[in-house]
Amino acid sequence: MVEPLEKPTDSNSLSRTVRLLGFISLCTDLASEMVYPLTPSFLTRVLGAPAWTVGIVEGVAESTASLLKFYSGWLSDRVGQRKPFAVAGYGLGAIAKPLIALSGVWVQVLGARFLDRVGKGLRAAPRDALIAENCSAKQRGRAFGFHRSMDTTGALLGPLLGFWFLQQYPGQVRWLYGIAFLPALLGVVILTLLVKEPKARANAPQSSPQFTLHGLSPSYRRYLLIIGLFSLGNSSDAFLLLRSQDLGITTEQMLLLYAVFNVMEAFFGMSAGNLSDRVGRRPLLVAGYLVFALVYLGFATAQSASVVWVLFAFYGLYSTLTQGVQKAFVADLVHPEQRGAEIGTFYMLVGFAALPASLIAGWLYTNVSVAAPFYFGAIAAMLSALLLTSSKLLTNL
């Protein structure tokens, strides 16, 4: 067993680095979710772009940056440092917010979203590796659950603040994008000044790990296939917001919808991580995929705006059961000496699947029916749950 680089003060507490990274994610997600639910409306109503551009913007932004999610993890293994990649990533994400405020056409929004996703690509794998290296294996679910809960607390506060702002200053969406820069900048400052690179990592030999896909554990390769299938059906949340808009949800109410979604994770994300430490990761992931399928079936068949509020609450339950647990699951399956690169492989796969997932959803939404992409996603989720149940993954995961 690999010992954590920074040990907590007692067996029940989390290390300072893990707690700081959680607060940084709170600031970052507060900024992002203050404006993200408005992006489909900003594109289609403010800029006058057609609905299919939502799929292009979200799919291209995720997929073209996804290679960085692998490369930054691999490079952080090679140079023996995680923090520089995290600082650069959070910094780019902060800069992207005011750029959207200045956009006059949808292509400029695409560029800003691309910059934001490049930032996420730079920071995601090194940050998760840093969390994994600063907690024991027995605390891994708790650590990632805490990080996800802090992340989601920010994602809960962001829409509420955005809703309040638009109530006070109706229609000032561009100003809201500019204001979102401030909490994102605070996260960058805290990371730069307060988070320290552990000496055991910073002084590590700077050799290039000989990473190959064949070198991944069989269990990890099987899980990557399953998550790849699930990701093809998990199109951008922008389509949930578009569907909600079709059913009568207003622009301001979209912010409250996202708050409802995030309430579940904010309060129960850490509990899900703790539970996964005791009963294993796989049962929670299977349950989460099945909840996702039910939510997508609900969006496919919904006839009124009132149903949307319930569906977003259950969508939050899906996220609670999967997001933090999934990261802990991946950390369980990777080799410690190549943790950055192998975690990056997971992010890269999910990122690459984002473009076809959103393009498929956009085509189905425009050319078949508004319900079609949700039926497609539900089927993919049910198949993934079935495969995860029957797959010969390690029995204790």
Q: Dump pLDDT digits (tens) for 271-316.
A: 776 777 788 888 899 999 999 999 999 999 999 899 999 999 999 8
State yes or no: pLDDT of 213 exceeds 70: no
The answer to whether 139 and 369 have CB atoms below 8 angstroms apart is no
Integer Cα distance of 250 and 333 in angstroms = 43
> Model confidence at 125, in pLDDT bands (50, 70, 90)?
confident
Does 3 map to a domain? no
Give percent of the chain with pLDDT exceeding 70: 86
Does 5 map to a domain? no
Q: Look up the CATH number of the domain holding residue 167.
A: 1.20.1250.20
Does 11 map to a domain? no
The answer to whether 299 and 240 have CB atoms below 8 angstroms apart is yes
Burial of 119 (0-12, 13-18, 19+ CB in 10 A): buried
> Model confidence at 1, in pLDDT bands (50, 70, 90)?
very low
Centroid of chain to Cα 293: 18
Does 7 map to a domain? no
Least confident of 102-106, 194-198, 201-205, 245-249: 201-205
User: For residue range 318-377, what is the model confidence (pLDDT) as tens digits?
Assistant: 988 887 788 778 878 877 777 777 777 887 888 778 778 988 998 998 899 999 999 999
> Model confidence at 2, in pLDDT bands (50, 70, 90)?
very low
Residue type, 95: I
Does 71 map to a domain? yes
pLDDT of residue 397: 45
Domain around 100: 16-205+213-390
Q: Based on the structure, what is the number of domains in the chain? A: 1
The dihedrals phi and psi of 366, each to the nearest 5 degrees, come to -85, -40
Does 43 map to a domain? yes
